[in-house]
Structures are given as structure tokens and as C-alpha cells.
């Protein structure tokens, strides 16, 4: 399980790095845009807009890739844990002694044995049948 903890840590680190890079790139792009804004050119240049789009789509792609790795790691850890639990249950079940038992009915009971039979279930009338 330590390998999975290490993998989770690595995934979190890569995700953090991707996010930091995307925010840094966005900040640089916005800074570049604000430095070049003039009264004649109040709108961002196409290159600035493309840079912003590229940054965010690259981030989305990296995050999806890391999420896929994370989910696969979680599934693998779950499968491994389920296998371990199943094996432990199998070992524990094999350690429990099994003793056969017999069911005694009134017909097969020896005269000295007391046989307890369950009482018949009580029948109750519900409100819908009471008026019938």
C-alpha cells in the first residue's frame, strides 16, 4: 500500500505543478497584454487570446491525464485491498472448526430428549379486512 501512497503523492505533485505553470503562463500573458494596450488597440491581440486558450486547454489536458492516473491507481489499490481481505477471510474461515449437527424432530427424539417446536405465527386482522 505504500507504493499507492507514493503514487498518490506523485499525482498530486504533478497536478500542482501543472496548475502553477498554467497560472504563471496566464499571468505573463495578461501582463503582456496590459503592457501593449493603447487607446488605438484596446482589445487583446489574437496572439494573446490564443496564448490564453492554449494555456487553459493544456492545463485541462494535463489535469484529465492526472485524474485518469489517479482513478486507475485508486481502482488498483481497491482491487489489491479486496484481494487481501478475501484471502484473510478464506484463511480465517479455514481456521474455524466445523462440527456437524443433527436436527431432532418429535418423531426422531429419544424419550428423554425435550424437543422445542416453534409456535405457529399469530394471525392478525388488518383494518382493511376487519370491515369485510
Q: Assess if residue 82 is contained within a domain.
A: no
pLDDT in tens, 7-46: 888 888 888 888 888 788 878 877 877 777 777 777 777 7
Residues with Cβ within 8 Å of residue 26, at least 6 apart in sequence = 52, 55, 56
Q: Assess if residue 95 is contained within a domain.
A: no
Q: Which cell numbers hold the place of 109?
A: 427424539
- Count the domains in the chain: 1
Q: Assess if residue 120 is contained within a domain.
A: no
Dist CA 73 CA 7 (whole Å): 7
Query: What 3-state class would DSSP assign to 132?
Result: coil
Instruction: Domain of residue 45: give its range.
Output: 2-77
What is the pLDDT, as a whole number, of residue 118? Answer: 60
Comparing C-alpha atoms, which of 33, 26, 32 is closest to residue 57? 26
Dist CA 48 CA 32 (whole Å): 8
Mean predicted confidence (pLDDT) in 73-81: 89
Alpha helices in 37-102 (DSSP H): 46-95
Q: Assess if residue 105 is contained within a domain.
A: no
Q: Assess if residue 13 is contained within a domain.
A: yes
Query: Please, which contacts does 83-92 make with residues 24 or more away whose CB atoms are closer than 8 Å?
Result: none
Mean predicted confidence (pLDDT) in 68-92: 90
- Rounded to two decimals, the pTM is 0.49
Dist CA 39 CA 47 (whole Å): 19
Q: Assess if residue 36 is contained within a domain.
A: yes
Q: Assess if residue 71 is contained within a domain.
A: yes
Q: Assess if residue 22 is contained within a domain.
A: yes
Alpha helices in 37-45 (DSSP H): none
Tallying the residues shown for the chain, one arrives at: 132
Residues with Cβ within 8 Å of residue 73, at least 6 apart in sequence = 4, 7, 8, 11
What is the pLDDT, as a whole number, of residue 86? Answer: 92
Amino acid at each position: 500500500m505504500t507504493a499507492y501512497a507514493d503514487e498518490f503523492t506523485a499525482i498530486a505533485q504533478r497536478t500542482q505543478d501543472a496548475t502553477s505553470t498554467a497560472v504563471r503562463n496566464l499571468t505573463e500573458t495578461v501582463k503582456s497584454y496590459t503592457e501593449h494596450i493603447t487607446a488605438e488597440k484596446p482589445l487583446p491581440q489574437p496572439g494573446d487570446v490564443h496564448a490564453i486558450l492554449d494555456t487553459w486547454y493544456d492545463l485541462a489536458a494535463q489535469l484529465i491525464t492526472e485524474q485518469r492516473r489517479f482513478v486507475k491507481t485508486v481502482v488498483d489499490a481497491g482491487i489489491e485491498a479486496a484481494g487481501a481481505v478475501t484471502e484473510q477471510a478464506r484463511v480465517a474461515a479455514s481456521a474455524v472448526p466445523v462440527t456437524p449437527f443433527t436436527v431432532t424432530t418429535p418423531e426422531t427424539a429419544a424419550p428423554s430428549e425435550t424437543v422445542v417446536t416453534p409456535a405457529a405465527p399469530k394471525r392478525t386482522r388488518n383494518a382493511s379486512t376487519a370491515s369485510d
